Structure 1
Amino acid sequence: MTDSAPVPVPAPAPVQVVVYAKDVERLASFYQCALALAIAEQARTFVVLHGQGFEVAIVAMPEAAAAAIERRSPPVPLEDTPIK
C-alpha cells in the first residue's frame, strides 16, 4: 500500500435559477435585498445575482409577453402558472 495525499472533494455545482421579468432592475433589486445577493453580471436585458452556492439569473421577457401582463393592486393570484 502506498501513502498518498487525500483527494479533495470538489464543491457541488451551484444551483442556478432563471426568472423572467417584466422589469429586470426592479426584480433584481428585490432578490438582491431579500436574499443578500451580489451582482455577478449585468446587461440591459439580464442580471445575474450570486449567493452562497447559488445564482439567480433575471432575464427580460420578450416585449410582446411583457405588454400582455397587467399589474394589479392588490395582486391577483395567478391560477394558470406552473410554479406556485
Structure 2
Amino acid sequence: MDTRKVIGWNLRRLRVAQGLSQERLALESGIDRSYVGRVERGSENVTVARLEQFAATLGVPVRELFDDPIGDNPPPALAAGRKPKQPRRPRE
C-alpha cells in the first residue's frame, strides 16, 4: 500500500473511532471538508503541516497516521448524519 493510502486509512480509522464526521474533522482542523475526503481516499498529496493539524485535532502523535494498517477491511463508515424529522403534532 502506498504512503498516501496508509495515511488516508489511518486518518479515517482515527476519525471514525472518535465519532467525528469528515465535516467536523475539517471544521476543527481549519481545513476544507472535500480535502479531508481526498486525503482519506489517498488521492491527495498531504503536507506535513496538514498532518500536524489532523493529528492535533485527533489528539494523536503524527506517527500514528503512518502506522501500517491491520487487516484488509477499511474502517467502517459512521451512521448517516441527521436525525429524521419528527411529525408535527396538530394544533388543538
TM-score (norm 1): 0.25
Bigger proportion of residues as strand: 1
Bigger proportion of residues as helix: 2
Structure exhibiting the larger radius of gyration computed from Cα positions = 1
Larger relative contact order (Cα-Cα within 8 Å, sequence gap ≥ 6)? 2
